[in-house]
Amino acid sequence: MILTNHQLQTLNTFGIAVSAQYFVSIETKETLLQLIATEAFQTAPHLVLGGGSNVLFTENFKGYILHNQLKGITILDHSTESVLVKAMSGENWHSFVEYCIEHNWGGVENLSLIPGTVGAAPIQNIGAYGVEVKDVIQTVEAIDLRTGIHRQFTAKECAFGYRESIFKTQYKNQYFITAVTFRLQPQPQQFELSYAAMRETLQSTNYMGEGCLNVRAVSEAVCHIRRTKLPDPTVLGNGGSFFKNPEVDSTFFAQLQQQYPTIPHYPISPQKIKIPAAWLIEQCGWKGKRVGNAGTHQNHALVLVNYGGATGSEIAAVASLIQASVVQKFNIHIQSEVNIIG
């Protein structure tokens, strides 16, 4: 069924009150294929919407919003070395993580509580606490929205990078991801604990001793940290980190460090250094700053928030002002991680 002028306010975590000219709930691949075959669809703009936790709508959407409701989880293969599990793309990401934890499969526990759907996870190669989803993706299945042709991408073909994939570049808005297959570890013994906050949380709950650590404990530590650190979008509209951490070349960084000796940084190769965008934004005086109903969170300069009744354009305008400040002070362009629509 195609709904018209459908309200999207509860379907995006910024809580922006915009509507979709046409709104279709995609519960089966057949519904999608039938729609793709119509001329009306082929001649109008379209956007796949999952949990709406990485989009900022700046105006009413003129065209089709395809709301992903494809559900189901199937175990394809189970051996002592690995488990292959396929999840339909409309599954809630954290529910899928919970499913893996219940089965004691390792690989996604550090990605607990990231909002959104399974199908959006490969789009920006979601990551948290030292793990990126690319590390466990085997294949991504998708339908070409121009032709209806089904295609399977290997992880290599997805061209994953830091918050990047081929679905954000060459194939932006071209494919509807229908399913993702993950290769996970049965009975995992080793865990990614490079973040001090995770080790401290696990220590305080007595899980760090030998033989005590398990996927459940790691997931609970991640959930605890996230719940205490990040604003809940159901209370305060936001899209998580608004900007990516910029990567600069080491010569440029050396000059910057002379001027700002305390600048935090992480070498990612001999030539490239990553700088936390939050620090740059904070140095520009933006932490907790408010312009009308939009602004940054009081504890997180990187999280742009809707303080109530903000339009998407107001939030995008604050984002532009922040970008300009960072260019002016540091000569660094910070890129948006959130997809700005409109």
Q: Which residues sit at the interface with ligand FAD, rule CB under 6 A?
A: 13, 47-55, 68, 89, 114-117, 119-121, 123-124, 126-128, 175-177, 230, 233, 238-240, 339
CA distances from 24 to 5, 186, 318 (A): 11, 38, 31
Shortest separation between residue 252's beta carbon and ligand FAD, angstroms? 26
Q: Are 280 and 326 in contact (CB under 8 A)?
A: yes
d(Cα 62, Cα 328) in Å, to the nearest integer? 35
- By annotation, the residues acting in catalysis are 163, 241, 337
| Side chain identity, residue 300 | H
Q: What is the C-alpha separation between 37 and 281, in angstroms, rounded? A: 46
User: By C-beta, is 229 or 249 nearer to ligand FAD?
Assistant: 229
Closest CB to ligand FAD among 253 and 279?
279
CA proximity to 124, closest of 241, 265, 277: 241
Kindly state the smallest distance separating residue 249's Cβ from ligand FAD, in Å: 24
Taking the CA of residue 190 as centre, how many other CA atoms within 13 Å lie in the half-sphere pointing to its CB? 1
CB of 290 to ligand FAD, least distance (A): 19
Cα(125)–Cα(38) distance, integer angstroms: 31
- Which residue's CB is nearer to ligand FAD, number 14 or number 286? 14
**β-sheet with 294-296: strand ranges across:** 237-241, 303-306, 294-296, 290-291
Smallest gap from residue 226 Cβ to ligand FAD (A): 7
Closer to ligand FAD by CB, 144 or 282: give it.
Answer: 144
Phi-psi region of 256 (alpha: psi -120 to 50; beta: other; left: phi over 0): alpha
Residue 161 structure tokens: 């990078």
Nearer to ligand FAD, 287 or 297 (CB): 297
Taking the complex as a whole, the smallest distance from the CB of residue 319 to ligand FAD amounts, in Å, to 15
